[in-house]
Amino acid sequence: MDFLRAGVRRHTFARIQCRQLHLLQNKAYVEGKWISAGSGNVFKVENPADDSLIAKVPDMGAADAKKAIDAAAEAFKSWKNTTPKERSNILRCWYEIVEANSKDLAAIVTAESGKPLSESYGELAYGNSFLDWFADCARHVKGEMILSPWPNKQIMVTRQPVGVVSVITPWNFPFAMITRKVGALLAAGCTCVVKPSEDTPLTALAAIQLAEQAGVPKGVINVITSSRKNVAEVGKVLCEDPHVRLISFTGSTVVGKVLSAHAAKGVKRVGLELGGNAPFIVFPSADIGRALDHAMLAKFRNNGQACVGANRFLIHEDVYDQFVNGFKEHIQKKCKLGPGTHEGVTCGPLINLEQAKKVSSFVEDAVNKGARTLVGGRFATDLGNKFFESTLIDNVKPGMKVYHDEVFGPVASVIKVKSEEEALEIANSTKHGLAAYVFTKDLGQAFRMSRDLEFGMVAINDGILSTAEAPFGGIKESGIGREGSMHGVEEYTEIKYTLMSGLEK
């Protein structure tokens, strides 16, 4: 196993001893065994803060994916017949073990994702809340008895687990996206194969070590790892194999469409949580101080690399100057860029060079077309090649990419609006429909915005809306289905109708 070398720069995890990296794993997990790729190939997982090597993990291909699916299919035969109480107890145990190992997990999350340790702890608390929640939900999956239109007959409706689930997760929340999906499907009685992002596979492998300790039987959860080179062939198998009955994916809309096309060949169900382009709307009646504080949360959490992150700030002309000046001041005071292990850092590096270049291109495009940079707008090259300054731009127009497309980085664009109608028109003028944020003290306006915004989730006077108890998901090209809440468990069940007849004797 390749650990961080003692000679790397001071701000890497060399100072975090093996005590905090004992969960670091360099094998994939299939049928309860830690295994290598059939080819023997590996790929590197690097720290985005300084490109230092953390570990090498198996570079698996189609044959490895098939092996993992077969293991999940075999395990489903027995797992589907476990009682809800048994599944609940295992999920509760997993939750408790994660709680006990949060420090070690946080070190791995920060090492491979680059986010500050404080945010890694926050993600672990959030992600573990799903295990806590789904441990309860497991015992509350219900059917129903429906009054029959015929005498001496009874209509019974039950929910049964859908079967083997392919789980494909992103790099921005490498722990929470595992637990939000796997916790729900386990509660429903399904088994799975997890393919984490090639940028952040180590968190998934660490989480599954703890699931194994919690008593999850072999084959119920399987984790395969693959590089970008093999991801297409692995994804195809995960979608088209006949044993797989549902594909759960969080990531870009482009990839979501590809996976949907593969799944359609077998008429398989899909759960898709895709891109977002969240508006952040501030009206004259709003508490501007509160709006500013929550703007920082909605925009710069995980350095803007969040699907529900605010992208377009639509500010009413009556409070525009006040908000923009305040936002600029907040960014300058509260955004501290640096390696995630440094004390006080609030914004780490972007995940990879491709992402860094993409964010930079958005700003360059806007500035070239007349936008004005109020704060940031450049790489902090003294820190490394993936550190981009927290940025605020105004004078944003429809012809600019930031006006229509999701940035997925630390760039906030402000647009002046004259009315509620204009704010709605701009907010809804996107193919995405995941999250929206509205700040107003006008109750009628709050209800109108909730009704008229074409988004699956709307937060009124708050910049953080995700919680295990609420249904998370979008409309339009932002996805299909819901995660979290009781609805999140039901996504992994099939409804069966049984007619009981001949009951007259």
Q: Is 144 an active-site residue?
A: no
Indicate the number of domains in the chain: 2
**Distance (Å, whole) CA 467 – CA 91:** 18
Which pTM does this prediction carry?
0.93
In a domain, residue 21? The reply is: yes
Same domain, yes or no: 291 and 271: no
For residue 139, how many C-alpha atoms fall within 13 Å in the half-sphere facing its CB? 11
What separation, in Å, do the N-terminal and C-terminal C-alpha atoms of the chain show?
A: 69
Q: Are residues 267 and 373 in the same domain?
A: no
The four Cα atoms 460, 465, 468, 473 give a dihedral, to 10 degrees, of 90
Residue (of 458, 455, 460) closest to 478 by Cα position: 455
Residues making up the chain, counted from first to last: 505
Is residue 245, in this structure, part of any structural domain at all? yes
> Parallel, antiparallel, or unpaired: how do β-strands 144-146 and 372-375 relate?
unpaired
Strand partners, 497: 157
Distance, in Å, from the CA atom of 214 to the CA atom of 208, rounded to the nearest integer, reads 9
Q: Which helix (H) or strand (E) holds 496?
A: strand 493-500
Same domain? For 257 and 314 the reply is: no
Residue 504's Cβ-count burial label (10 Å; 0-12, 13-18, 19+) is: exposed
Residue 74 main-chain phi, psi, to 5 deg? -70, -40
Q: Which two tokens stand for residue 459?
A: 């937060």
- Tokens 């797992």 belong to residue: 79
Residue by residue, DSSP assigns 398-417 as: TTSHHHHS---SSEEEEEEE
Return the CATH number at 293: 3.40.309.10
Helices of type H across 52-116: 62-79, 84-100, 102-113
Pick the catalytic residue from 119, 198, 273, 406: 273
Rounded distance between C-alpha atoms, residue 5 and residue 328, angstroms? 39
* 391 in Cβ contact with 377 (< 8 Å): yes
The per-residue pLDDT for 7 is 33
pLDDT in tens, 25-57: 999 999 999 999 999 999 999 999 999 999 999
Q: Answer yes or no: is 344 within a domain.
A: yes
CB 168 within 8 A of CB 178: no
Question: Where do we find the tokens 């670091």?
Answer: 24
Question: Are 238 and 294 in a shared domain?
Answer: no
Q: Which amino acid is at 397?
A: K
489 and 375 fall within a common domain: no
In this structure, are 100 and 194 located in the same domain? Answer: yes
> Can you give the residue range of the structural domain that contains 198?
17-275+482-494
Looking at the domain assignment, is residue 459 inside a domain?
A: yes
307 catalytic residue (yes or no): yes
Cβ(414)–Cβ(313) under 8 Å?
yes
305 and 183 inside one domain: no
| Claim to verify: residue 224 and residue 365 sit in the same structural domain | no
Let me know if residue 83 belongs to a domain. yes
Q: Looking at residue 355, what is its pLDDT?
A: 95
Number of H helices, E strands in the chain: 15, 20
Q: In whole angstroms, give the CA distance from residue 342 to residue 118.
A: 10
What is the enclosing helix (H) or strand (E) of 146?
A: strand 144-146
Q: Residue 11 has what pLDDT?
A: 35
Instruction: Decide if 413 contacts 402 (C-beta within 8 A).
Output: yes
Residue 477 lies in a domain: no
Residue 288 and residue 176 share a domain:
no
| Angle of the 231-240 helix axis to the 62-79 helix axis, nearest 10 | 30
β-pair partners for 479 = 273
Handedness of CA 64, 65, 66, 71 (dihedral sign): positive
State the Cα torsion 32-34-36-38 to the nearest 10°.
-20
Residue type, position 503, single letter = L
Q: Specify whether 253 is located in the same domain as 349.
A: no
Alpha-helical segments (H) within 114-221: 117-137, 176-188, 201-213
Residues 269 and 287 in one domain: no
Surface-to-core class of residue 231, CB atoms within 10 Å of its CB (0-12 exposed, 13-18 middle, 19+ buried) = middle
Low-confidence ranges of the chain (pLDDT < 50): 1-19
Q: Which residues pair with 154 in a beta bridge?
A: 500
**93, 190, 239, 307: which is the annotated catalytic residue?**
307
Considering the domain boundaries, does residue 101 fall inside one? yes
165 and 308 both lie in a single domain: no
pLDDT for 13 equals 37
Q: Residue 295, CB half-sphere, CA atoms under 13 Å: how many?
A: 34
**In this structure, is residue 503 part of a structural domain?**
no
Structure tokens, 235: 């994804």
> Quick check: 53 and 5 in contact, CB under 8 A?
yes
Rounded distance between C-alpha atoms, residue 281 and residue 249, angstroms: 29
Q: Give the helix ranges, DSSP H, for 265-370.
A: 288-300, 320-334, 353-368
pLDDT reported for residue 15 = 39
CATH of the domain at 109: 3.40.605.10
